[in-house]
Chain A
Amino acid sequence: MRLNSERPAGTGVILVTLVVAALLEVVPLSDTLNWVRPEWMLLVLLYWVLSLPHRIGVLWGFMVGLYLDVLVGTTLGQWALAYALGAYFMQAAYKRMRVFPLLQQSAVVFLLVGSAQLLAFLIQESVGRTFYPPYTILYSSVASAVIWRPLCGVLRWVQLRFLVR
């Protein structure tokens, strides 16, 4: 991790990783695979919060969530709320998160993604657009936790290669 005093750079790279995550969010999958689609955008957002906590935070979370809302056609504000909260908690815990062992990191990601999804589910429920029971969000939360480490590796490489700070 770099010092905060360095000049920020690489906003474009961050945006590109988020767009790729957005693609993965909507790319068509079979019905079964659809259940275990990880929350790509939230994971990428969490990574950037973790590595650049002084630059990427709640407002980024809100914006990215709002974008996802329009992308997948949910109530405007549903994912914005969930992502803002997710970014906030990651920002609050980034110091501990960095020294956590692998499994513990995944567990934290599972909790963060799970609670963000639960929040979004509750909002969707209040709008009357849910059909399957709430425990179904567990599948994609688990998938998100599993994919966290490999994704971190890829994003770390991107960060070092394109000097994002």
Chain B
Amino acid sequence: MSSANPTYRLLIALVLAVVLIALDQRSRWVDPLRYALGYLTAPVQYLAHLPVDAANGVMRLTETRTRLMESRERLERQVLILEQKVQRLAVLQAENTRLRELLNSSANLDASVLVAEIIGVDPDPNRQELVINKGVRDEVSQGQAVLDSEGLIGQVVETGPLSARVLLITDASHAMSVQVNRNGVRAILAGTGQGSRLRLLYVPDTADIREGDLLVSTGLGKLYPRGYPVARVVSVNHQSGASFSDIEARPTAHLDRVSHVLLVQSMEPVSAPDMETDGGDQAGAAGLEAAAGPDTEGADATE
């Protein structure tokens, strides 16, 4: 065995690797291999998360009585406020459904969710990805939207048997269609590759977008459910001479601090938004969202 020429082995390995790379980029044939290896990699991911888990456990054990009582009080207040909001929501929802029926449009915001814990962060600074502790066995599928309590986080791009990878909205290769909650102006929200910074692309200088505007998902491109908060505009720079204004936003979700996320389980097919704007924008947005999806070969949607 030791006498076999290592150069031949290298050649075989190189050819095999190149074929793998090509197949992984152009097709889904190697997904079963990735899936099978997932059984071996998931335990390592879980193990790497153990120290964090243990630290949290110790913190919980050593919390003082007064701290606990304080947090209980705060939570009770929060529940009261939320319950009051829900009361109004039920009425609004019924009314909304009635009105939508009148319009013959069937957008549905309801979706069941699955709670998952984040067990890993991508060690490569070039990529903004997370690993969660739910996989195919918990019926997680590619393309599912991932949220936290404050807003959208990203989408599932890869599913293993026991874990899944989530592409964050801040990743440089990610873009999605959003609209301003205040007036329905639509734009493309792209990641910058840096945590908690997003950019609105191709927004005409005259568009009515201000600092503090809430951007919500439009559901165009069929990847994300409609109507979830995504980001808040932090700065709008009009540059004289440039055709588009330079708009920066910050995700509403706490991408760097979350420990648990929600996976939107069953997405209703969404109808296109009813608001009337130029069709080119819409097509562009849908195309971009598709390009950022998991199936296409590494499209660099932002550039």
Which positions in A face B, CB cutoff 8 Å? 4, 19, 22-23, 25-29, 31, 34-35, 37, 54-55, 57-59, 61-62, 65-67, 70-78, 80-81, 84-85, 88, 91-92, 123-124, 127-132, 136
Do B123 and A25 have beta carbons less than 8 Å apart? yes
Instruction: Tell me how far the C-beta of A94 lies from the nearest C-beta in chain B, rounded to whole angstroms.
Output: 11
Distance, CA A62 to CA B33, complexed state (A): 14
Which positions in B face A, CB cutoff 8 Å? 2, 6-7, 9-10, 13-14, 16-21, 23-25, 30, 33-34, 37-38, 40-41, 44-45, 47-49, 51-52, 120-127, 129, 131, 158, 160, 165, 172-173, 193, 195, 297-300
A-B contact pairs, 23 of them (CB 8 A): A28-B49, A28-B121, A29-B123, A34-B125, A57-B6, A57-B9, A66-B20, A70-B38, A71-B45, A72-B122, A73-B131, A74-B124, A75-B24, A75-B298, A76-B24, A76-B30, A77-B18, A80-B13, A80-B20, A84-B17, A127-B25, A128-B298, A132-B126
Known: A66-B37, A131-B193. A84 touches B126 (CB 8 A): no
Instruction: Tell me how far the C-beta of B165 lies from the nearest C-beta in chain A, rounded to whole angstroms.
Output: 5
Do B24 and A71 have beta carbons less than 8 Å apart? no
Known: A23-B48, A132-B126, A136-B125. A85 touches B10 (CB 8 A): yes
The answer, among B51, B131, B193, B298, for a CB contact under 8 Å with A127, is: B298
Distance, CA A44 to CA B71, complexed state (A): 47
Do B47 and A23 have beta carbons less than 8 Å apart? yes
Do B25 and A61 have beta carbons less than 8 Å apart? no
Known: A4-B2, A59-B9, A85-B10. A72 touches B124 (CB 8 A): yes
Instruction: Tell me how far the C-beta of B16 lies from the nearest C-beta in chain A, rounded to whole angstroms.
Output: 7
Do A128 and B173 have beta carbons less than 8 Å apart? yes
Chain A residue, CB-CB nearest to B191: A131
Do B129 and A84 have beta carbons less than 8 Å apart? no
Q: Could you say which residues of chain A place their CB within 8 Å of the CB of B51?
A: 27
Nearest 9 A-B pairs (CB), nearest first? A77-B20, A81-B17, A131-B193, A54-B2, A127-B298, A128-B300, A84-B13, A77-B21, A128-B298
Known: A59-B13, A62-B13. A26 touches B120 (CB 8 A): yes
Q: Could you say which residues of chain A place their CB within 8 Å of the CB of B38?
A: 70
Known: A57-B9, A58-B9, A129-B173. A80 touches B126 (CB 8 A): no
Distance, CA A125 to CA B68, complexed state (A): 49
Q: Could you say which residues of chain B place their CB within 8 Å of the CB of A132?
A: 125-126, 193
Q: Could you say which residues of chain B place their CB within 8 Å of the CB of A91?
A: 6
Do B25 and A75 have beta carbons less than 8 Å apart? yes
Do B158 and A73 have beta carbons less than 8 Å apart? yes
Distance, CA A122 to CA B129, complexed state (A): 20
Instruction: Tell me how far the C-beta of A129 lies from the nearest C-beta in chain B, rounded to whole angstroms.
Output: 6
Distance, CA A55 to CA B3, complexed state (A): 10
Do A76 and B298 have beta carbons less than 8 Å apart? no
Distance, CA A61 to CA B49, complexed state (A): 26
Known: A80-B20, A88-B6. A129 touches B127 (CB 8 A): yes
The answer, among B6, B44, B126, B193, for a CB contact under 8 Å with A23, is: B44
Do B158 and A62 have beta carbons less than 8 Å apart? no
Instruction: Tell me how far the C-beta of A21 lies from the nearest C-beta in chain B, rounded to whole angstroms.
Output: 10
Distance, CA A50 to CA B9, complexed state (A): 17
Chain A residue, CB-CB nearest to B22: A77
The answer, among A26, A35, A58, for a CB contact under 8 Å with B13, is: A58
Do A73 and B165 have beta carbons less than 8 Å apart? yes
Chain A residue, CB-CB nearest to B158: A73
Q: Could you say which residues of chain A place their CB within 8 Å of the CB of B160?
A: 70
Q: Could you say which residues of chain B place their CB within 8 Å of the CB of A37?
A: 123
Known: A58-B10, A81-B21, A123-B21. A73 touches B125 (CB 8 A): no
